[in-house]
Amino acid sequence: MRPVFDEKDLARYPFLQEAQAKIAGSELNRLESFLASDSGRRIINLAADRLEAAITIPQRELEDHFRTSRSQNVNALDLLYAYGMARLIASCINDRTVIERLITYEARRSSFFLMNDESDETAEADADKRDAVATQLGLQLDGDTVLVPLAQYIEMVAGLREPLWRLVNREVSGGLVRVYATEFEVLLRERIRVVIRARGLPKVPAEVCALLAPAIERLTAVHQGQMLRNLGPIDESRYPPCMAALVMALAGGANLTHMGRFALTAFLHTIGLDITQIVEVYQRAPDFDIQKTLYQVEHISGRSGTEYTPPSCATMETNGLCVRRDALCERIGGPLGYYRKKKGSPPSAETLSGSSR
């Protein structure tokens, strides 16, 4: 007999069909009036808190966070609707890092509760619910093991680096990969991640995003602050040779190609310079036009709705922008990786003297 999921279950496993149906039949479908209501504002705050946790809490600390949040007295339906609202806000922010962090947070949250259920039900009832969730996720249970179709397995473990998940180290029979009970939690988490990512985010009308502006601005600031903490203070002495060359070209009064402008702007934005600081970098270019430059910088920095990241080394090389390669260049895949690597070590005498430029 299929178990019945209560509201607490739906809040913990919001990807379930029953949870999706509950959200679909809620006030969230009348967004503009709902957002202006007291309950709407409460859900927005819960959703913003959820997204902030996803952005700021390291993965290794998430279990403690979930354990603490479990003891908080928050209405189960509010938590379920906050999941839906967090997806709306993330869609409005439209930043790949924020979206991926939310997906990871939700996958770890649901798998934590599924494997650490402290309900008043019997152990058998808890196991039945766990099996029912696994079935909805497309995982076929066989006693103490899980049988996963080969293509599905490859998709699920794509982000796992431990050797035990490599296909050559698994039992494969009849197109099914066998996974044991001790590995089930990781498998479950990765399957939830795949399901949530595959569903994508809803397309949110601009007028709705405008109503969510305070939450969006708050979370954008949190995300930018987190990026700056991850990168540390901006240090020009650690720019990769290609970016240092572009800055020097501008300082020397040269114009950059379109790709050079894009690469430099995306790099400077990602390491933490604001729009005004980036525009100032371009002021010595012979073709400098304040309005045109401001428009281009705002567009690349995410004002258009899409935040761009620096090109890879391969793209830089294809466009003739890869110059003065050094030993570190051979070990990284892009300018941002170079900068982060350099930030983790003291500058060399060569870097301090500027000769690497």
Are residues 152 and 138 in contact, defined by beta-carbon separation less than 8 angstroms? yes
Q: What CA–CA distance (Å, rounded) separates 337 from 343?
A: 10
Amino acid identity at 307: E
Q: What CA–CA distance (Å, rounded) separates 127 from 140?
A: 14
Output the average pLDDT for the chain: 84
**% of residues, the chain, pLDDT over 70:** 90
For CATH 1.10.579, the residue range(s) in the chain are 232-353
Q: What is the pLDDT of residues 122-165, one digit of tens each?
A: 667 777 888 888 888 888 777 788 888 999 999 888 878 788 99
Q: What is the pLDDT of residues 338-349, one digit of tens each?
A: 988 887 644 333
Please tell me which residue, 352 or 73, carries the higher pLDDT value: 73
Burial class, 61, CB count within 10 angstroms (exposed 0-12 / middle 13-18 / buried 19+):
exposed
Dihedral angle of Cα 196, 197, 199, 203, to the nearest 10 degrees: 120
Q: What CA–CA distance (Å, rounded) separates 155 from 165?
A: 12
Q: Which helix (H) or strand (E) holds 108?
A: helix 96-115
Q: Check pLDDT > 50 for residue 356.
A: no
Residue of 92, 78, 82, 28 lying closest to 53 (CA atoms): 82
Q: Check pLDDT > 50 for residue 196.
A: yes
Are residues 263 and 246 in contact, defined by beta-carbon separation less than 8 angstroms? yes
- pLDDT classification of 355: cutoffs 50, 70, 90: very low
What is the pLDDT, as a whole number, of residue 134? 86
Q: What is the pLDDT of residues 330-340, one digit of tens each?
A: 888 889 889 88
- DSSP codes, 281-305: HTTTSTT--HHHHHHHHHIIIIITS
Please tell me which residue, 208 or 181, carries the higher pLDDT value: 208
Q: Which helix (H) or strand (E) holds 155?
A: helix 150-156
Are residues 263 and 241 in contact, defined by beta-carbon separation less than 8 angstroms? no
Q: Check pLDDT > 60 for residue 353.
A: no
Q: Which of the residue ranges 72-76, 148-152, 207-211 would you say has the lowest mean pLDDT?
A: 72-76
What is the pLDDT, as a whole number, of residue 119? 62
Could you give the strand order of the β-sheet that contains 176-180, starting from the edge strand earlier in sequence? Answer: 140-142, 145-149, 176-180, 171-173
Span 82-98, average pLDDT: 91
Q: What CA–CA distance (Å, rounded) separates 85 from 50?
A: 10
Q: What is the pLDDT of residues 15-60, one digit of tens each?
A: 999 999 998 888 777 888 889 899 999 999 999 999 999 999 988 8
Q: What is the pLDDT of residues 262-292, one digit of tens each?
A: 999 999 998 888 887 788 788 778 888 877 8
Burial class, 240, CB count within 10 angstroms (exposed 0-12 / middle 13-18 / buried 19+):
buried
- pLDDT classification of 350: cutoffs 50, 70, 90: very low
Provide the sign of the torsion angle of the four alpha carbons 83, 87, 93, 94, taken in this order. positive
Q: What CA–CA distance (Å, rounded) separates 239 from 176?
A: 48
Q: How far is CA 207 from CA 32, 51, 213, in A?
A: 9, 21, 10
What is the pLDDT, as a whole number, of residue 304? 62
What is the pLDDT, as a whole number, of residue 126? 72
Q: Check pLDDT > 70 for residue 85.
A: yes
Q: What CA–CA distance (Å, rounded) separates 311 from 201?
A: 25
Q: Which helix (H) or strand (E) holds 172?
A: strand 171-173
- pLDDT classification of 95: cutoffs 50, 70, 90: confident
Q: What CA–CA distance (Å, rounded) separates 188 from 50?
A: 21
Are residues 134 and 188 in contact, defined by beta-carbon separation less than 8 angstroms? yes
- pLDDT classification of 102: cutoffs 50, 70, 90: very high
- CATH placement of domain 232-353: 1.10.579
- DSSP codes, 245-279: HHHHHHHTTPPPPHHHHHHHHHHHHHTT--HHHHH
